[in-house]
Amino acid sequence: MATLAELAELVGAQVEGDPQVEISSLRTIDQAGAGDLTFLANPKYLPMLGDCQASGIIVGPGVDAPGKNLLVCSNPYLAFAKILTVLRGSTYAQIGVHADAEVAASARIGEGVSIYPGCVIGENVEIGAKSILLPNVVVYDDVKIGDDCLIHAGCLVREECRIGNRVILQPGAVIGSDGFGFAPDGDTYYKIPQIGIVVLEDDVEIGAGACVDRAALGETRIKQGCKLDNMVQIAHNVVLGEHSVMAAQSGIAGSTRIGRHATFSGQSGAAGHLKLGDNVTIAGKGAATSDLESNRIYSGTPSIPHKQWIRSSLVFSKLPDMKRELSALQKRLAELEKLVKETEKKC
């Protein structure tokens, strides 16, 4: 429970209306009622404000809603996220080390850590303060996990990997599986040992079923603040720059280096051994097959600048007609050339 005034201070907003009204939960604009807070981030929902029964509404500057209690801020969506975090509170009970968890005697467990039933913690593992490992998490030997991490059920972290502070691993994420490295040997393939590690820096989130492969040598590194969606694949020796985001079913092939604040839309990716600059965006199902410059949006396979791709896409549907016209022109040209030659012979 919090007043609008308290929530406004939390997110740097201004109150229009009653600052002492109390808020206990957040709901969508069409479901919110007394005691609820909702938010308006998309202008298309403006017509719903009149019928909204919420005790408070988070809005951007310039929204006019007579008789409503408003929290006015520059980024309603961000304010919603911060307030939801506070009102939601802690979701998972602090239980310490459960009796049905298997923790090696050499493991170093920080203050306030919760390790749920079915977890297996290997030798020389370090787990920082207040981290939570939910049921059936497996942590191999010599792993280091920072403070305030949340590792969901069924995750696996392999040997020697490093996980920073406030990292979230969604259910079934695998950190440090072998990179896909095989040397051709005639008609067969010889497995290349993958002896490197994975490093997840602070505030990284890895989605459900996502895999980050360990390096052949050295490290695969996901830098601070990166967010990976479900079913994302990061291959060995990749470096993903700070605060980059990757939507579901995206993938990066081995040894590619990506700058900060990159955006990969759904089912997009990059080939191996490339360099992608800062602030690169690859549209859905796009694929980088060569190095990409910073501060540009790319689309298509192979990826090209987005504006160029739009112009090209307008032509796609016309290609069959253009081919027929070109064939007809080639035929007429051949006939004209034949006529010219016959005329020259007569002359």
Compute, in degrees rounded to 10, the torsion defined by CA atoms 213, 217, 218, 220. Answer: -20
Please list the residues that pair with 219 across neighbouring strands.
Answer: 197
- Out of 236, 243, 273, 306, which one is annotated catalytic? 236
For 82, 294, 308, the CA distances from 297, given in Å and listed in that order, are 29, 9, 10
What confidence score (pLDDT) does residue 121 get?
Answer: 98
* Rg of the chain taking only CA atoms, in angstroms: 28
What confidence score (pLDDT) does residue 342 get?
Answer: 82
Angle at 22 between CA 19 and CA 25, to 5 degrees: 125
For 139, 140, 147, 255, the CA distances from 163, given in Å and listed in that order, are 11, 13, 9, 20
Helices and strands: H and E segment counts in the chain: 4, 39
The rounded distance, in Å, linking the Cα atoms of 102 and 98 is: 9
Decide: 124 and 142 in contact? Cβ < 8 Å.
yes
What confidence score (pLDDT) does residue 311 get?
Answer: 82
Decide: 159 and 214 in contact? Cβ < 8 Å.
no
The rounded distance, in Å, linking the Cα atoms of 132 and 95 is: 9
What confidence score (pLDDT) does residue 225 get?
Answer: 98
- The two structure tokens encoding residue 58: 């988070």
pTM of the complete model: 0.85
> Position 117: which residue type?
P
Burial of 74-105, coded b for 16+ CB within 10 Å and e otherwise, reads eebeebbeebeeeeeeeeeeeeebeeebebee
The rounded distance, in Å, linking the Cα atoms of 180 and 188 is: 15
* Residues composing the chain: 347
Q: Phi-psi bin for 203: left (phi > 0), alpha (psi -120 to 50), beta?
A: left
Q: Furthest-apart CA pair in the chain: how many Å? A: 106
Active site residue 152: no
* Residue carrying the six token digits 């002359």: 347
What does the DSSP assignment read for 81-149? HHHHHHHH---S----B-TTSEE-TT-EE-TT-EE-TT-EE-TT-EE-TT-EE-TT-EE-TT-EE-TT-
Decide: 58 and 40 in contact? Cβ < 8 Å.
yes
What does the DSSP assignment read for 122-134? -TT-EE-TT-EE-
The rounded distance, in Å, linking the Cα atoms of 209 and 52 is: 38
pLDDT in tens, the chain (347 residues): 899 999 999 999 999 999 999 999 999 988 999 999 999 888 888 888 888 999 999 999 988 888 899 999 999 999 999 999 888 877 898 999 999 999 999 999 999 999 999 999 999 999 999 999 999 999 999 999 999 999 999 999 999 999 999 999 999 999 999 999 999 999 999 999 999 999 999 999 999 999 999 999 999 999 999 999 999 999 999 999 999 999 999 999 999 999 999 999 999 999 999 999 999 999 999 999 999 999 999 998 888 888 888 888 888 788 888 899 999 999 999 989 888 888 888 77
> Position 87: which residue type?
L
Report phi then psi at 304, rounded to 5. -130, 165
Whether the ω angle into residue 302 lies within 30 degrees of 0, i.e. cis, is yes
| Helix H or strand E segment including 227 | strand 227-228
